Amino acid sequence: MQFFGGSEISPSPPVPTASGNNAHMMYIFNRNGVCLLYREWNRPLRTLNSNQDHKLMFGLLFSLKSLTAKMDPSSAEKGNLGVPQLPGQGCSFHSFRTNTYKLSFMESPSGIKIILVTHPKASDLRDSLKYIYNLYVEYVVKNPLYTPGTPIRSELFNTTLDQYVRGERNIWYTRVDMLLISKPASEILLLCDASFELFSPKGYRVASFICLILDKCIHA
Amino acid sequence: MAAIYSLYIINKSGGLIFYKDYGLQGRMDTNDSLRLASLWHSMHAISQQLSPIQGCSGIELLEADTFDLHCFQSLTGTKFFVVSEPGTQNMENLLKHIYELYTDYVLKNPFYEMEMPIRCELFDINLAQAVQKERVSYLGR
């Protein structure tokens, strides 16, 4: 697994399947269990106050990790249940699903835990989490004013994250849909050419846009 | 190549009442399996607390690096969970089938005491058949 790609943020961010109203909330913990960041997009039900909620979430992840490490059917040497393990040691997990939500989890080698809670139908979000981790490295770790281990207060990070999770692509989907209702296929192909010129600096968007249009043309 | 590694049944208070191992690593230590079962019971309960939406009934599927854990909770709170290979399909149906076997051969057994470890021969036989069938259909795919 490669976490430290280079200075650029992963050039083609994976499609945020957690877009729109699908994402409920996100947590970032450091290895000591301090909640560095908590973002909430859609959470109708709140049973605990925020501090207790963070503690409970960290405890759940910690215990689930020791459970999976002990249950791991692929190795005989598993140690004792509940003994703290270093990040990357032992069998970990990447997501769990209940009837109301899906929780995706990633741990970096330095013990940063990123948790994204989404709609239960969301697909595999490992790439999205890795992308969010890259955002964290870029906007938080590389920020000289940030003291490690303290809650993140970077405006830039928060807005980028919001943009990513809410999914700019949503706008594109609606635009493409509107376009396809009103235009015949030949005109759409012309529009594809035009969009290449218009949006070429944003490589990935163009690519996904074009793919979408072509896809729709074929199925139409 | 086994599609299913192990099966656990826990009663409504988190006590392990049945454990069967189908994997190659051999049976887990009894104390460890008891601890794992009650740990799963509490994780299941905590996951309900953390739900962002009302009406959560706990973890149904846990995807770990080397296995998947499918869990089915009956209305009375008895939990059935299987540890299987990652990406194994059709586990929900198997769990429901095991639940049926449990109601037929365990609950209807007059010598069985509720919430106590399951020692019923008929249940064992039928369970072995169900798992074998699952394995055959898995190999056939």
Q: What are the residue ranges spanned by the domains of chain B?
A: 4-140
Residue range A143-151: mean pLDDT, rounded? 91
Does B49 contact A at CB distance below 8 Å?
yes
Look at the domain A20-166 and name its fold: Beta-Lactamase (3.30.450)
Task: Give the ipTM.
Answer: 0.91
Residue range B27-55: mean pLDDT, rounded? 93
Is B4-140 a domain of CATH 3.40.50.261? no
> Quick check: B56 and B92 in contact, CB under 8 A?
no
> Quick check: A67 and B44 in contact, CB under 8 A?
no
pLDDT at position B67 is 94
Write out pLDDT tens, residues B65-91: 999 999 999 999 999 999 999 988 889
Residue B120 has pLDDT above 90, yes or no: yes
Give CA–CA dist A39/A22, Å, rounded. Answer: 14
Does B86 contact A at CB distance below 8 Å?
no
Please count the residue pairs, one from chain A and one from chain B, whose beta carbons lie less than 8 angstroms apart: 118
Does B30 contact A at CB distance below 8 Å?
no
Residue ranges, comma separated, of all CATH 3.30.450.70 domains in chain A are 20-166
pLDDT at position B1 is 45
Nearest-CA distance A34 → chain B (Å): 18
Write out pLDDT tens, residues B98-115: 999 999 999 999 999 999
**Residues A63, B42: C-beta atoms closer than 8 Å:** yes
Give CA–CA dist B136/B141, Å, rounded. Answer: 9
Q: State the CB neighbour count (10 A cutoff) for residue A108.
A: 20
Residue range A131-150: mean pLDDT, rounded? 91
Give CA–CA dist A27/A25, Å, rounded. Answer: 7
Buried b (16+ CB within 10 A) or exposed e, A119-143: bbebeebbebbbbbbbbbbbbbeee
Residues of chain A positioned with their CB less than 8 A from the CB of B64? 68, 71-72, 91-94
